[in-house]
Amino acid sequence: MADLQQRTRFEPAEVEPRILARWLESGFVHPEPAGTAGENFSIAIPPPNVTGALHMGHALNCTIQDALVRINRMRGRRAKWILGTDHAGIATQRQVEKLLESEGTSRAEIGREQFVQRVWEWREKYGGQIIEQFKRLGATCDYEDERFTLDAQYVEAVLKVFVDLYEQGLIYRDNYMVNWDPGLRSAISELEVEEREGVVDTLYSIAYPLASGDGEVVVATVRPETMLADTAVAVHPDDERYALLVGQEVVLPLVGRRLPLIADDYVKSDFGTGALKITPGHDPNDFEIGRRHGLDEIGVIGEDGLMTAAAGERYAGLTALQARDRVVADLEQLEAIRGREPYVHTVPFSQRSGERIEPLISLQWFMRMDELARPAIDAVRCGHVQIHPDSQSRRYIDWLENIRPWCISRQLWWGHQIPVWYRGDETYVGATAPEGEGWEQDPDVLDTWFSSALWPFATLGWPESTRELQAFYPTDVLSTGRDILFLWVARMVMMGLRFAEDIPFHHVYVHSIIQAPDGRRMSKSLGTGIDPLALVEGGPRPPVYASSSRAPGDFPAYGADAVRFGLLAMSSTQDVRFSEEKVQQGQALANKLYNATRFVVLRVGDHAAAAPQPRTVEDRWILSRLQAIKGDTQARVDGFDFAKAALGLYDFIYGELCDWYLEIVKPRLAQDADPDDRATLGATLLHVLRETLATAHPVIPFVTEELWGLLPGTDGQLATSSLPAPDSTLSDPAAELAMGRAIDAVRQLRGWRDFVGVRPGAIVPALLQAEGYERTADRVGALARFAFRPATAAGADAGEVATIGVPGGSVAVLESADVDVGAAERRLQERRTTLRKEIERAQKKLCNEGFVAKAPAAVVEAERVKLERLRSELEAV
């Protein structure tokens, strides 16, 4: 932006890459590990999947974290934004499997060692592009110190935690019900399970004869094939229909096994016949019931999705679906089917493979969580870890109070292989392989969340006692979406307390989820997602983002500042819909700031030094308002109220600074104006602008950095400059009062002009007959284009053609060619009507005994003052 004179628009596409390069070159993103975590500021980024591409959630979270990091860096704290990526077991493995498929080979064919090698190669080539995208948003992560959850040092931390927890008895191997993904042939975590609503199945009613031969019990199921694994029938303990039967046995058709009839609260009496077949081997709820009642757990569906030998010769080897058909047919033969009806319900599917989850029991590694959960609950209860908004604390605590063992093994090849070796009946657990021949390592890897749980301290070098750990742990803030509060945040608290001997962060900020304009989630497959960089640099606008004013097509290149501003302005404590208008507002703000700076720089000249040197009421006013916006913005960012921070800056810059202050002082900058005043005004303008840029920097870093460089007398980068604190000696309530009144008066006068149809350029002669304008009358006149004549004793009233009410009195309009007297009269009538109505209202209120007696005195007094004001205005007009 060399030619300030000519360029009237801020051009982010030209400016932002240049500024970014300068930031990265200067190296401030990497703080030296010195001092204590209490003095320093740190945030650990939620590590994006190494396969990841930037989505709106990343962009929002990036902006939030960057605003926090920047504001604290400007406070002079060593600010470290811990950066890295997650190896993301399943997602990454799938990517490479797909690649192999396209090459006509497969994971099984090339073998484990080769495969893992290929994943590393893939990661080298494609991994971490998301980090480049973070840069484009202006995120000042510590790019010089990037971590990966499979770095050697990180692996060491993971293995140590596993071994320690094993030795402490918290990690164990057990047969347990897992979410089995038949497509991946692995257990998957709850996070990767998607509940699909509206799945239509057939609900079969099947008769199980009583062993006594005396009747039957009818049960309902959508999965008849699982009956082969039934080990009980359950009813509700209060269900009178079955009260006498509990304790008896039924005979399982096709199999002949005798099943006890048990009573359990879980059963809903009003569903079907009130009797529930219990299949502990293939249903999570039945599994729980089974464990409560000590039932056998039979598995008839194998990990390959085929029926096992336990299903019996007739069914073994069939797929579950084939088995279902055969079971139904066989039951029909027995005349055991009592009914079938369509049944709509919710069914778990794997997000990864898209296949229906097959709940089954398998031998897995588990982690006992109750002992770890207790201190993590206390940390939040006592406020050591504060969750914002606070409503999320309860979700966190509820979840931890009802926590279950965590299945930490995954049947994958990409990840931290479980550090357990087997030889015959022997088991060895240790960070390195045992001595001796014939040991074989457990083939499974750990759930990705196991390693993520160590993120805030493993990235800083734990288990070594490093300088980094000293300087940056615990971190200050963790910012994340609600969806991983349990899967990640809670686990980090547990692991941090257990292993790093302190909470991992003081504050957790749970940010909004940004939805598509139609309220659906943003998703590639739905066509509702947008690439944040398409907003920054221009790119496709999907159809759902079109509106009456916006055709589908391409987004203009709004720039990173606009996107950051827009995202923060949109954000809230709840989910919000994406609004392009807010991004546009950010763009407008950047442009406004640019032009305001241009104006000041071109008028003030290079020699001026920035300093607050107020001479007039408007100078005192803007300095006073500046103190307010500095304080408000800092408090809002610190309080995680990012929307108010962003919009507050907009209001100050657009409204108070540009619309009012710059407009008012324009005449004082004219060529023929008083040079002394010009000089002090220049100093004040520069001061206000500098502090405004610094205050806005954490939200819109690029434009503020660029403009900082254009201001005379600045040296160094804004990003590493100090944040200006509010100066109470510059707060001036009297100036705010006077200017507030003046602004209201200008609005009244402009509204009147418009209504009466005064020619836009015309200067209206008038008398200002109002109090409180001693210091502002000429400003009001200039902005509203009124020429206030001194009130002469005689002859003045003669020419009065209209009266306009303003705070503190009125303006008497004198006769002139530009004023349509008839319109003015209509305007006056309108105003009188409004005033009478309002007076009536106020009177009524004050006559209300209840109000006068019970409302706070200040409120009553305010009402009286208001009534007085209205009356005097009515009198004046």
CA 286 to each of CA 180, 227, 300, 551, 696: distance values in angstroms, whole numbers, following the listed order? 16, 12, 15, 53, 57
Residues numbered 820-849 forming contacts with RNA, rule: CB under 7 A: 838, 841-842, 848
Q: Minimum distance from CB of 744 to RNA (Å)?
A: 10
Q: Minimum distance from CB of 723 to RNA (Å)?
A: 24
| Rounded distance between C-alpha atoms, residue 850 and residue 523, angstroms | 57
Q: In the numeric block, which tokens belong to residue 19?
A: 């500024």
Q: Is 8 in the site for RNA (CB under 7 A)?
A: yes
Q: Minimum distance from CB of 866 to RNA (Å)?
A: 5
Q: Is 595 in the site for RNA (CB under 7 A)?
A: yes
SS3 for 35-98, per residue?
A: CCCCCCEEEECCCCECCCCCCHHHHHHHHHHHHHHHHHHHCCCCEEEEEEEECCHHHHHHHHHH
CA trace torsion 782, 786, 792, 795 (10° rounding): 170
* Contact string (CB under 7 A) for RNA, positions 435-474, x = contact: ----------------------------------------
Q: Is 722 in the site for RNA (CB under 7 A)?
A: no
Q: Is 546 in the site for RNA (CB under 7 A)?
A: no
CB 613 within 8 A of CB 686: no
Near RNA by CB under 7 A, which window of 169-177, 473-481, 686-694, 852-860? 852-860
DSSP lists the bridge partners of residue 555 as: 539
CB 478 within 8 A of CB 507: yes
- Considering the complex, state which of residue 560 and residue 643 has its C-beta at the smaller distance from RNA: 643
Q: In the numeric block, which tokens belong to residue 788?
A: 């206030």
User: Please, which contacts does 452-455 make with residues 24 or more away whose CB atoms are closer than 8 Å?
Assistant: 452/47, 452/86, 452/149, 452/488, 452/491, 452/492, 453/488, 453/491, 453/492, 453/494, 453/495, 454/154, 454/157, 454/158, 454/161, 454/492, 454/495, 454/499, 455/44, 455/47, 455/84, 455/149, 455/492, 455/504
- Listed residue (481, 652, 510) closest to 55, CA to CA: 481
Q: Is 587 in the site for RNA (CB under 7 A)?
A: yes
Q: How many residues bind RNA (CB under 7 A)?
A: 74
CA 26 to each of CA 425, 472, 719, 720, 788: distance values in angstroms, whole numbers, following the listed order? 59, 21, 10, 10, 56
- Considering the complex, state which of residue 322 and residue 579 has its C-beta at the smaller distance from RNA: 579
Q: Is 592 in the site for RNA (CB under 7 A)?
A: yes
| Given 129, 319, 351, 579, the residue binding RNA (CB under 7 A) | 579
Q: Is 372 in the site for RNA (CB under 7 A)?
A: no
CB 154 within 8 A of CB 148: yes
* Contact string (CB under 7 A) for RNA, positions 394-413, x = contact: xx---x--x-----------
Q: In what order do the strands lie in the sheet with 275-278?
A: 249-251, 258-263, 232-235, 275-278
| Given 216, 378, 581, 820, the residue binding RNA (CB under 7 A) | 581
Q: Is 663 in the site for RNA (CB under 7 A)?
A: yes
Residues numbered 739-798 forming contacts with RNA, rule: CB under 7 A: 746-747, 750-751, 754-755, 760
- Considering the complex, state which of residue 68 and residue 645 has its C-beta at the smaller distance from RNA: 645
| Given 582, 630, 697, 779, the residue binding RNA (CB under 7 A) | 582
CB 300 within 8 A of CB 282: yes
Q: Is 215 in the site for RNA (CB under 7 A)?
A: no
Residues numbered 504-523 forming contacts with RNA, rule: CB under 7 A: 515, 517, 519, 521
One-character DSSP codes across 641-655: -HHHHHHHHHIIIII
Near RNA by CB under 7 A, which window of 361-369, 462-470, 715-723, 850-858? 850-858
Q: Minimum distance from CB of 757 to RNA (Å)?
A: 9
**What letter does residue 816 receive in the DSSP assignment?**
-
Near RNA by CB under 7 A, which window of 312-320, 392-400, 771-779, 806-814? 392-400
Residues numbered 179-198 forming contacts with RNA, rule: CB under 7 A: 190, 195
* Contact string (CB under 7 A) for RNA, positions 338-367, x = contact: --------x---------------------
CB 203 within 8 A of CB 222: yes
Q: Is 577 in the site for RNA (CB under 7 A)?
A: yes
- Considering the complex, state which of residue 402 and residue 728 has its C-beta at the smaller distance from RNA: 402
Residues numbered 620-659 forming contacts with RNA, rule: CB under 7 A: 643-644, 647, 651, 654, 658-659
Residues numbered 484-503 forming contacts with RNA, rule: CB under 7 A: 486
Q: Is 269 in the site for RNA (CB under 7 A)?
A: no
Sequence letter at residue 56: M
Residues numbered 106-145 forming contacts with RNA, rule: CB under 7 A: none
Q: Minimum distance from CB of 741 to RNA (Å)?
A: 14
Sequence letter at residue 83: L
| Rounded distance between C-alpha atoms, residue 449 and residue 116, angstroms | 19
Residue found under tokens 């703000």: 589
